[in-house]
């Protein structure tokens, strides 16, 4: 019998024109160590590249030349379980992407590095892990670590003795510290101190107040930054004897410095109890049943999730809770952490690579049992899943818009099937696809029509902005909205305003010749940002200073048109000079933790008005917000997307749900130029069912989802004509295939026809889920691999969620 010393490896080839596994031979010293799901380093051409072992050792190969040896084994245990290896194959096949892309998506960034640059001279287990720790703790890049000889050092240590490396890393860790503050005076003493501080020493006054609130509790110096108190003031405070500063070892727990309130288990109400019992039954039976939990905003869905997660834990199982965008849902995270503490691992994009890896590893080694996070958390490395939840299941962010273009809902169902556990899809406004499946009995519908505080849903009023114009009111605010804002704030309550557009103005135009400022790289207008007087492209990031004169006619009559959050903020300051606004959009929330800080300002009633883009519509629960205003409901209504009405309905319903969540009753004002549109009038009456029926008729008539499936092909090239011609070739292949019941729309220029100097064409292919479709798509994918050699890119998006 031949020795089994060959394995199959999926290699991460940067140019990506191939996706087949390659055979490699296993060197003697790795024979007993290597397993499927481990990462290896392999020679490929003239380089060494990262690869994933996807097979058990085998005895024979089809390869005719001499096999090369694996250069290094990078893990001492598989990073991809057999389940994940299989799931990757499924995702690659269904979404027409490369296997390596699927595997990459499942792993934390720390495990995906440029092996070419950091060639490893020895076969070293987990070396990379150690080295990454090392550079993280030292806050230096790999390149720098290498330059300084640290890495060579590390390798030498590693060769001699594995333990000493860990030891050294631990050592480094101890050196990395952070300044912390120990308050030295109690409340009364500090209150006396207040009298002694000069009234003009604003920072010091603020410091004393924060110390009083802390009531002796130690906190990180970072905690003070949100009050705009920095090191100089803290040092002054130390000199005055209010506090002492000390060094605290840093913990890479992203929630280490956040005070989390305990969240106590609530007595379930009848509608919650019914939903709970149905899911629990499926859990007990280990059934992969899919539930659509349709509960109005504030009906207590989250409490149901929490108690079912507790059930899973009680059974010794694990759970995954997906949220559309984790950084926008700090309250959800707090509720989970507040109930389950360290059992919760949070995965999100604002974590550092080290933090992210730690959270991932906690799940993998069983230290944490609940994974919370956005889309990619569906790949959490859990072993015995008892429940998977997708909150706000209708959100488009659950579908990845780049390769691999998977939908978290589909992956959830796949994993649920493997683990024998139920899936909950939660929403106040389910996607039409999910609701239709519930209607057909594919999913089980659970309804929670009442708010848990028994408050009625807030009354919603549509305000016809055409009337305002007739009355010569040129503000973004109708008279009614202004009056109600004033009245609300007079009562000491708060206001939330949504406008789905950041920046100051949508475009800038010359009033003499009509010239508009366009992005030089993209086919879109530049957006004007007032605070830095810059014109910016929201697609490619191009930036330019606002010119004084028109480049076409030389005149100076340049004007901004349209509105963004920045401009609305300015109007608020003009209309309500004594009120405080918090503006939340992509421009103001780039920094880590900025969401939390802003939301805390609202929670602590330090601000009167929360103004934001649709990021504020998600999951916020502020009892003192009693008025919600939507500045312009029309922005999402006329997007070139067959789901535009559905999106608008969902967004308005969700945003309306932010009003009156506590004991105070709320109201919602929606400003629009289309007060008769069904998406608006039905959102006004909280009438999901009628909306569903109306919209389903429209979808049927136009052969859209959920009646038809859609595949979108996008073709791009730097040459306009080549892109167009290739799109025509794709259309030709689809026509030739001639599958019954299909329809081709296009090719046509994409909505944004040029981005970053690439021309885009798209083509929609509608079908009825016929088996033959997959072969047709595969044939196109194979052709596309050839085209990609000429830098013509064809992407295949199965069931796309957005059309921009
Ligand atoms: P949803 O997720 O459906 O929007 P939440 O779970 O956030 O609703 O609940 C809305 C509010 O009602 C929260 O403040 C929550 O604490 C409260 N709540 C939920 N369930 C109960 C219950 N069984 N008893 C009392 N209050 C509840
Ligand atoms: Zn651009």
Residue 131 has pLDDT above 60, yes or no: no
**How confident is the model over 204-220, as pLDDT tens digits?**
889 998 998 888 888 88
Query: Number of structural domains, the chain?
Result: 7
Q: What pLDDT does residue 610 have?
A: 93
Mutate to test the pocket of ligand 1, among 276, 300, 332 (most ligand atoms within 8 A of CB): 300
| The predicted structure's pLDDT at residue 121 | 30
- Determine if ligand 1 sits within 6 Å of the CB of residue 373: no
- Report the run of H or E that residue 49 belongs to, with start and end: strand 47-53
Nearest protein CA to atom 26 of ligand 1, as residue: 452
Closest CA to 431 of 389, 392, 394: 394
Average pLDDT over residues 261-281: 94
Tokens 């069983």 locate to 366
| Nearest listed ligand to the Cα of residue 542 | 2
447 lines ligand 1 (CB under 6 A): no
Q: Is the CB of 536 under 6 A from ligand 1?
A: no
CATH number for the domain that contains residue 72: 3.40.1440.60
CB 260: neighbour CB atoms within 10 A? 15
Q: pLDDT-derived band of residue 748, with 50, 70 and 90 as boundaries? A: confident
Helix 301-314 with 270-284: angle, nearest 10 deg: 30
- Ligand 1 contact, 294 CB (< 6 A): no
Using pLDDT thresholds of 50, 70 and 90, give the confidence band for residue 413: very high
**Given ligand 1 and candidates 299, 302, 338, 624, which is best to mutate, with the most ligand atoms within 8 Å of its CB?**
302
Looking at the fold, whether 496 and 519 belong to one and the same domain comes out as: no
| Residue 135 binned pLDDT confidence (cut-offs 50, 70, 90) | low
What is the reported pLDDT for 160?
A: 45
- Ligand that lies nearest to the alpha carbon of residue 294, given by its number in the listed order: 1
Residues 582, 680: one domain? yes
Instruction: Report yes or no on 263 lying in a domain.
Output: no
On whether both 474 and 518 belong to a single domain, the answer is no
* Predicted-complex ipTM score: 0.97
Decide: 298 in ligand 1 pocket, CB within 6 A: yes
Examine residue 258 and state whether it is found in any structural domain, yes or no: no
Segment 276-328, tens digit of pLDDT: 999 999 999 999 999 999 999 889 999 999 999 999 999 999 999 999 876 66
Is residue 139 domain-shared with residue 101, that is, in the same domain? Answer: no
- Determine the atom of ligand 1 nearest the C-alpha atom of 297: 4
Q: pLDDT grade, residue 170 (50/70/90)?
A: very low
Same domain, 64 and 37: yes
* 155 and 182 inside one domain: no
Give the pTM.
Answer: 0.79
Binding site for Zn(2+), by residue number, is 510, 513, 519, 522, 537, 540, 550, 553
62 within a domain of the structure (yes/no): yes
Instruction: Tell me the per-residue pLDDT of 513-535, one tens digit each, with 9 for 90 and over.
Output: 778 888 888 777 788 887 778 88
Instruction: Dig out the tokens for 476 from the structure.
Output: 């973004």
Q: Tell me: do 483 and 537 sit in the same domain.
A: no
268 lines ligand 1 (CB under 6 A): yes
Measured in Å, residue 270 CA sits from the centre of ligand 1 at 13
Q: Where are the beta strands (DSSP E) in 250-396?
A: 290-295, 318-322, 344-347, 370-373, 385-390
Assign 148 a pLDDT band (cuts: 50, 70, 90).
Answer: low
Core vs surface per residue 746-780: b (16+ CB within 10 A) or e: bbebbeebbbeebbbbbbbbbbeeeeebeebbeeb
- How would residue 34 be classed by pLDDT, with cut points 50, 70 and 90? very high
Nearest CA to ligand 1 atom 23: 268
Q: What is the pLDDT of residue 76?
A: 80
Looking at the fold, whether 598 and 624 belong to one and the same domain comes out as: yes
Give nearest CA residue, ligand 1 atom 19. Answer: 300
Judge if the upstream peptide bond of residue 413 is cis by omega within 30 degrees of 0: no
pLDDT of residue 118: 37
3-state secondary structure 464-496: EHHHHHHCCCCCCCCHHHHHHHHHHHHCCCEEE
Verify whether ligand 1 is closer than 6 Å to residue 302 (CB atom): yes
| Cis peptide preceding 323, ω within 30 of 0 | no
Domain-located, residue 150: yes
Q: Is residue 51 part of a domain?
A: yes
Nearest CA to ligand 1 atom 20: 300
- Range in 64-73, 515-524, 548-557, 606-615 with the lowest mean pLDDT: 515-524
649 Cα: distance to centroid of ligand 2 (angstroms): 30
Q: What is the pLDDT of residue 717?
A: 94
**Binding residue numbers:** 510, 513, 519, 522, 537, 540, 550, 553
**C-beta 660 within 6 A of ligand 1:** no
Residue 262, domain member (yes or no): no
Considering the chain, what is the average pLDDT of its residues? 84
Answer yes or no: is the C-beta of 653 below 6 A from any ligand 1 atom: no
CB 200 within 8 A of CB 178: no
For residues 582 and 615, state if they share a domain: yes
Q: Is 621 in the pocket of ligand 1 (CB under 6 A)?
A: yes
Note whether 279 and 344 are same-domain residues: yes
The ligand placed nearest to the CA atom of residue 331 is: 1
Q: What is the CATH number of the domain that holds 466?
A: 3.40.50.300
407 or 261, greater pLDDT: 407
Co-location of 280 and 366 in the same domain: yes
Q: Rounded distance, CA 425 to CA 444, Å?
A: 10
* Cis upstream peptide for 229 (omega within 30°): no
12 and 118 belong to one structural domain: no
Ligand minimally distant from the alpha carbon of residue 524: 2
Would 256 be classed as within a structural domain? no
pLDDT in the model for residue 522: 75
For the cut 50, the answer to whether the pLDDT of residue 495 exceeds it is yes
| 751-768 confidence digits (pLDDT tens) | 778 888 889 998 889 998
Residue 319, phi then psi, degrees to nearest 5: -145, 150
At 285 the pLDDT is 98
Q: Does residue 453 lie within any of the structural domains? A: no
pLDDT tier at 483 (50, 70, 90 boundaries)? Answer: very high
Q: How confident is the model at residue 594 (pLDDT cuts 50, 70, 90)?
A: confident
User: Which pair of tokens denotes residue 56?
Assistant: 């058990």
Q: Are strands 243-249 and 177-183 parallel, antiparallel or unpaired?
A: antiparallel
d(CA 56, CA 34): 9
Range of the domain at 613: 460-501+564-698
The rounded Å distance from CA 662 to ligand 1 centre is: 10
Helix, strand, coil percent content, the chain, rounded in steps of 5: 40, 20, 40
């Amino acid at each position: 019998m031949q020795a089994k010393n060959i394995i199959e490896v999926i290699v991460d080839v940067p140019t990506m024109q191939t996706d087949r596994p390659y055979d490699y031979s296993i060197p003697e010293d790795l024979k007993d160590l290597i397993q499927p799901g481990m990462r290896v380093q392999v020679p490929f051409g003239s380089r060494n590249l990262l690869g994933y072992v996807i097979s058990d050792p085998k005895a024979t190969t089809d390869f005719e030349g001499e096999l090369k040896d694996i250069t290094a084994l990078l893990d001492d245990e598989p990073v991809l379980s057999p389940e994940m290896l299989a799931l990757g194959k499924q995702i690659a096949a269904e979404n027409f992407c490369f296997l390596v892309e699927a595997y990459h998506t499942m792993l934390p960034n720390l495990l995906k590095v440029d092996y070419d640059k950091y060639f490893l001279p020895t076969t070293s287990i987990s070396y990379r892990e150690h080295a990454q720790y090392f550079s993280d703790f030292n806050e230096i890049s790999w390149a720098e670590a290498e330059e300084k000889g640290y890495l060579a050092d590390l390798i030498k240590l590693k060769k001699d003795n594995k333990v000493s490396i860990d030891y050294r890393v631990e050592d480094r860790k101890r050196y990395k510290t952070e300044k912390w503050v120990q308050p030295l005076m109690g409340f009364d003493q500090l209150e006396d101190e207040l009298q002694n501080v000069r009234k003009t020493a604003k920072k010091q006054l603020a410091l004393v107040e924060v110390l009083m609130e802390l009531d002796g509790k130690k906190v990180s110096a970072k905690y003070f930054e949100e009050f705009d108190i920095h090191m100089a003031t803290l040092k002054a405070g130390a000199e005055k004897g209010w506090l002492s500063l000390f060094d605290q070892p840093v913990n890479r727990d992203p929630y280490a410095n956040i005070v989390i309130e305990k969240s106590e288990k609530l007595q379930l109400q009848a509608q919650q109890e019914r939903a709970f019992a149905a899911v629990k039954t499926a859990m007990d039976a280990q059934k992969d049943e899919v539930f659509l939990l349709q509960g109005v905003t504030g009906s207590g869905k989250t409490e149901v999730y929490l108690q079912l997660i507790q059930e899973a834990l009680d059974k010794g199982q694990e759970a995954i809770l997906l949220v559309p965008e984790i950084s926008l849902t700090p309250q959800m995270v707090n509720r989970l952490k507040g109930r389950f503490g360290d059992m919760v691992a949070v995965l999100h994009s604002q974590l550092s690579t080290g933090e992210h890896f730690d959270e991932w590893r906690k799940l993998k080694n069983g230290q944490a049992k609940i994974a919370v996070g956005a889309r990619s958390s569906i790949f959490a490395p859990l072993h015995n899943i008892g429940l998977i939840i997708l909150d706000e299941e209708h959100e488009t962010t659950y579908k990845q818009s780049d390769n691999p273009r998977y939908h978290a809902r589909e992956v959830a169902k796949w994993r649920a099937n493997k683990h024998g556990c139920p899936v909950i899809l939660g929403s106040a406004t389910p996607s039409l696809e999910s609701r239709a499946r519930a209607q057909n009995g594919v999913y089980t519908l659970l309804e929670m029509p009442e708010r848990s505080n028994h408050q009625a849903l807030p009354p919603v009023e549509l305000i016809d902005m055409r009337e305002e114009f007739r009355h010569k009111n040129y503000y973004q605010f109708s008279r009614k909205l202004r009056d109600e804002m004033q009245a609300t704030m007079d009562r000491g309550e708060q206001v939330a305003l949504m406008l789905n557009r950041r920046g100051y103005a949508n475009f800038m135009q010359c009033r003499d010749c009509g010239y508009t400022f366009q992005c030089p790289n993209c086919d879109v207008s530049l957006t004007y940002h007032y605070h830095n007087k810059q014109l910016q492209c929201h697609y490619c990031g191009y930036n330019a200073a606002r010119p004084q004169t028109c480049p076409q006619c030389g005149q100076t009559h340049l004007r901004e048109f349209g509105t963004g959050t920045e401009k609305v903020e300015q109007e608020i300051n003009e209309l309500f000079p004594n009120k405080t606004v918090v503006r939340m959009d992509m421009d103001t929330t780039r920094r880590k933790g900025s969401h939390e800080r802003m939301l805390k300002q609202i929670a602590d009633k330090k601000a009167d008005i929360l103004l934001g883009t649709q990021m504020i519509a998600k999951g916020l629960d502020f009892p003192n917000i009693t008025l919600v205003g939507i500045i312009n409901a029309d922005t999402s209504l006329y997007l070139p997307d067959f789901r535009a009405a559905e999106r608008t309905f969902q967004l308005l319903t969700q945003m309306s749900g932010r009003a009156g969540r506590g004991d105070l009753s709320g109201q919602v004002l929606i400003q629009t130029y289309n007060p008769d549109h069904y998406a608006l009038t039905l959102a006004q009456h909280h009438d999901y069912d009628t909306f569903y029926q109306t919209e389903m008729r429209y979808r049927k008539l136009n052969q859209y989802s959920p009646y038809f499936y859609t595949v979108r092909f996008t073709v791009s090239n730097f040459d306009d004509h080549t892109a167009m011609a290739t799109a025509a070739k794709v259309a030709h292949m689809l026509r030739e295939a001639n599958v019954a019941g299909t329809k081709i729309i296009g090719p046509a220029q994409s909505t944004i026809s040029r981005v970053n100097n690439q021309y885009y064409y798209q083509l929609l292919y509608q079908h009825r889920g016929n088996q033959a479709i997959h072969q047709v798509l595969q044939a196109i994918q194979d052709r596309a691999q050839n085209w990609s050699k000429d830098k013509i890119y064809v992407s295949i998006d199965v069931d796309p969620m957005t059309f921009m």
